[in-house]
Amino acid sequence: MNILINKQTQFIDLGLVDYQQAWDYQTQLFNRILEIKKENRDKPAQDQQPTPNYLLFCEHPHVFTLGKSGDEKNLLINIQQLADIGATYYHINRGGDITYHGPGQIVVYPIFDLENFFTDIHQYMRLLEESVILTLKELGIESGRIKGLTGVWLGEGEQARKICALGVKSSRWVTMHGLAFNVNTNLSYFDYIVPCGIDDKAVTSVAKEVGGQVDIASIKNQLSRKLESLFELQLT
């Protein structure tokens, strides 16, 4: 357990960034935190360093990502067809199955040392979902969870539709990857996959629900404030 609890969190908006570039950057930050934790184990308490936390926001060009336990059959097109629709594909080291990222979608990558907050990965996932649920509530959109499924959903039963997907990786309580929140997302790209391996549920976006494009910068600001409050972050 950390002797030096640090809730200071550096907020970085990467803008529209290539998926591989963002993944490499996440990995660099993630590995640095693990390195500090490893060094701290061999030091007396007074010499230990606090571990940093980072909150990355971004959007990606069209890309499909498959989690480590996902099924490649859930990508419904081949390599040539990927090129035809201007998309790329990565098999990555997060949990979950396949999802889509693209312009108009807010992607959030918390690179946290959870020992600075709490050591419960399920609580972590639920708070990520809650940040989106509370953001949607401010937009007049009621959302929630579906038992046995991750993410944020609108409606229920046959009307259920997913507006936010989650997929994370953690090691020694350090997190990476995160959530993808459909705001002004081109939902037609979800037709090329079985989203999250779930073939009987639809996907949606804020724009689809309200009937037009919305100010994504404003929603990013609201979402960052919800995360700041829920995790008791000190954003810098």
List, by residue number, the catalytic residues. Answer: 196
Residue range 15-38, pLDDT digits in tens: 999 999 999 999 999 999 999 999
Residue range 82-96, pLDDT digits in tens: 999 999 999 998 988
Residue 85: DSSP 8-state? T
Average pLDDT over residues 146-169: 94
Q: Record the pTM.
A: 0.95
Per-residue three-class SS string for 208-229:
HHHCCCCCHHHHHHHHHHHHHH
Distance CA 55, CA 236 (A): 10
The domains located in the chain, with CATH, are 8-235 (3.30.930.10)
| Amino acid sitting at position 187 | L
Position 96 scores a pLDDT of 85
Residue range 184-230, pLDDT digits in tens: 999 999 999 988 777 768 999 999 999 999 999 999 999 999 999 99
Return the bridge partners of 16, or none: 59
Position 3 scores a pLDDT of 59
Residue 130: DSSP 8-state? H
Position 4 scores a pLDDT of 84
